[in-house]
Structure 1
């Protein structure tokens, strides 16, 4: 029998009788946890190798070990700060290079202790993840010998080049940035570990929230990027209010659409709700996004969920795009729509351009396309914005399993207000298969007659048909008619529309 490396651990029972009344539901990724966890220590680099190394290939596709539906997201800058602290302590680690080179501040060097435990989950052979399970030969098991317990690792002696053959046996719940600070360096630097065993992923998200948010250690909005699964937790919606994620994220995305130079809505959103401003208000944009891309999905009976705020139907896992990626996706979709409308030289678009010339409209003289931006176009109205985004979200959510959405990753994770990060995401998105689907949607949506009821020279029948888009019921009617237009087309867009 092969000899495996064993690490002594302390078993810590933690269970109260009242916890038996908790609702444990495997279908919600909350199966009943074991009533204990383990305490032990491991060299930092060895611990890191057991949790996988999230290196990205040139294609931008993430390794299976870094699936966005479950794992916390990594910010390299935070790990670099921790690395400097470990090596030099505080405050020497915060000094600039010139001060470090001088001997004047050498007395400020201190030990860089990391006494706080890394919290992990040890996967079992039955644990299923979107990235796959753990190979039998890579499993970490636990054995009891008398009163002591042993963590049995899948090798006899660890070496720096050891890698799991498939998914790693450990999942990091909290402490990833501390762990990832050890790319190289002293292999004897050990970290304390708190290890759960076979803990379901919803409980992992819950632990992350209670460790990091309730003590007010990090910004709640950032937490939804670091641990995307939190976006869909029902207990957060009920206890904290949906605005924790949904309203805040919708406002941030609206501001990105207004501020980013590549956005068709750059400086074309009424951010202050001013009277006389012709553009859709910020408030209306926020309501549209919370009703579409950032809405919850509570089940198939309620229709599609929000692409940014719901568990996906395949495997019911959340899409873990960063705020910059979310903003880039919206900007790309609107650019594709503007381009598609701009290429139309007949039908409703041509009629609006002719009307603008007759009226000497400001939009015509400014170089803006009256078919997209003009006062007789539905597109720059509240109903138009809601209609285009509503159907875009729904067909993407419905067709998600075909679009490989999780494979679109951007090395730089940042907020929607980071213009450079959004520009980088736009560049990478244009090379992703999903971009063709979105562009095709935009082209087919442009076939819809986007003239408003106030357009001159409409026939009485055309005007009556347009009047149904007014008022709150107009949102639903515009969505329904736009879907009908898509259903009459061909290809994936038509098939996705038929599913709606």
Structure 2
């Protein structure tokens, strides 16, 4: 049987001065191929031969390889594209009840924008079989001798002989850099096959050869973010590697703004999510007289502690990147807060001599009032700058640990939704599915255990009743940046003794 072939045009954009670029294989930026190709490929072949490394339980080898890719699939967006391809605009947006009246508004559903792909030839990690393409599964690129700007892409022999049952031995030979939602519009509802239209629908394809992952992230950024087509925050979720790229890190007008904007988005979720213990208990507008900590305090605490080298939301000490999206980052803090709030409630009920009972001399307070005063009262460090900063420091100190990375990385967001509420609910429900244990404890167990220890720390501020002079003096040292560190160390020491 003849091998299926696709003719391609060879594109030469290489400039001589690009040879001065520093190629760094250790940063996943090895020197790229000097040419890329354009061609027309059927949606079916592209779907079956490609991979976008979705984070799910079926590709654990890819996930454990930690190659810095996470592209979450928004099914609703792909379904919209599918409807557009069938009916064009605006017919695709009409509901079934009125469509029969508006047949005259059907239009062609063209998708002329290129799908950007990478054809893999080298292992994603040196020496890794599971992160490489088997020789028999590779797409072969043959450059024409008589027509130097023409080439042929040959698909794998076994795929051509039995495309329906073909499955790559390791990685698929093509990975999608940009355009996954257009491509996935041609998948069946369960995501395991192709719709009939995929056979005869051809995409314009821009194919790079063996492009290292850092260059893929760079290419995605230059296509989508540089011309301000999408929010930079989305790019950091689709390519977590961008969080540590030096060419962005050294551009503070981009990276610093992203970190602060992401932190602000997380704080807004802590404040707006109904089941968050901080629901409506953050001063979002900086209003005078508000009894709650200002939004700026939370933003600064999250930015400085989690978005840094050695920060849970950026890069671990060993440089590995936890590819959590914004909903996961917010959901993690919400769940931790829920556990801490619950632990405080239990402490108040069980131990009448505990620190929440010592906040006020008025013994007539009911238990719910004691809980609220401990959580968000004006005499509790949990409702002050120093307490919020120290709390974030302790959480990061405990969880941003190389030994806990795999446990945290096993908590997967399997789908993306249009609204933030659905995303938060989705990832919180999946916390039970975090399958990797550390020291025989699950991720939820670790969160609960740390919250239980933190709850028993004496969070009374210098303004609380029943403090000795030494206790008041000690608490006054918790103010300012140096004070945050002192409070963090005190909490960590307390946790060791629990």
Shorter chain as denominator, the TM-score bin is 0.7 to 0.9
Instruction: Give the match for residue 125 of structure 1.
Output: 122
SS of equivalent residue, structure 2 residue 362? helix
Q: Distance in 2 between matches of 1:348 and 1:484?
A: 24
Conserved 8 A contact 1:348-1:450: no
TM-superposed deviation, 1:463: 2.8
1:261 counterpart = 2:265: no
The within-5 A match list for 1:79-118 is 79-100=78-99, 102=100, 104-118=101-115
Conserved 8 A contact 1:68-1:319: no
TM-superposed deviation, 1:64: 4.6
TM-superposed deviation, 1:369: 4.4
SS of equivalent residue, structure 1 residue 368? helix
1:19 counterpart = 2:18: yes
The within-5 A match list for 1:274-423 is 274-293=287-306, 295-297=307-309, 304-305=310-311, 307-308=312-313, 310-313=314-317, 316-344=319-347, 350-356=354-360, 358=362, 366=369, 368-399=371-402, 401-414=404-417, 418-423=420-425
Q: Distance in 2 between matches of 1:36 and 1:276?
A: 62
Instruction: Give the match for residue 133 of structure 2.
Output: 134
TM-superposed deviation, 1:149: 2.6
Aligned pair in 2 of structure 1 residues 244, 162: CA closer, same or farther (>3 Å)?
A: farther
Structure 1 vs Structure 2 CA RMSD: 2.8
Conserved 8 A contact 1:372-1:379: yes
TM-superposed deviation, 1:68: 8.2
With 420-429 and 379-388 compared, the bigger mean Cα shift is at 420-429
Q: Which runs of 5+ in 2 are unaligned?
A: 188-194, 435-441
Q: Distance in 2 between matches of 1:265 and 1:163?
A: 48
Conserved 8 A contact 1:247-1:290: yes
Conserved 8 A contact 1:71-1:171: no
SS of equivalent residue, structure 1 residue 39? strand
SS of equivalent residue, structure 2 residue 383? coil
SS of equivalent residue, structure 1 residue 344? helix
Instruction: Give the match for residue 300 of structure 1.
Output: none
Q: Which runs of 5+ in 1 are unaligned?
A: 298-303, 490-500
Conserved 8 A contact 2:12-2:35: yes
Structure 2 counterpart of 1:236, from 238, 248, 254: 248
Instruction: Give the match for residue 174 of structure 1.
Output: 178
Instruction: Give the match for residue 6 of structure 2.
Output: 7
TM-superposed deviation, 1:328: 1.0
Aligned pair in 2 of structure 1 residues 93, 365: CA closer, same or farther (>3 Å)?
A: closer
Aligned pair in 2 of structure 1 residues 126, 69: CA closer, same or farther (>3 Å)?
A: closer
TM-superposed deviation, 1:354: 4.4
TM-superposed deviation, 1:401: 4.3
Q: Distance in 1 between matches of 2:46 and 2:177?
A: 13
Aligned pair in 2 of structure 1 residues 289, 431: CA closer, same or farther (>3 Å)?
A: same
Structure 1 counterpart of 2:204, from 175, 185, 192: 192
Q: Distance in 2 between matches of 1:115 and 1:204?
A: 21
Structure 2 counterpart of 1:218, from 230, 255, 274: 230
Q: Distance in 2 between matches of 1:320 and 1:218?
A: 19
What is the TM-score of this pair, normalised by structure 2? Answer: 0.86
Instruction: Give the match for residue 154 of structure 1.
Output: 156
Q: Distance in 2 between matches of 1:342 and 1:221?
A: 36
The number of equivalent residue pairs is 472
Q: Distance in 2 between matches of 1:179 and 1:65?
A: 21
Q: Distance in 1 between matches of 2:53 and 2:255?
A: 31
Q: Distance in 2 between matches of 1:371 and 1:26?
A: 52
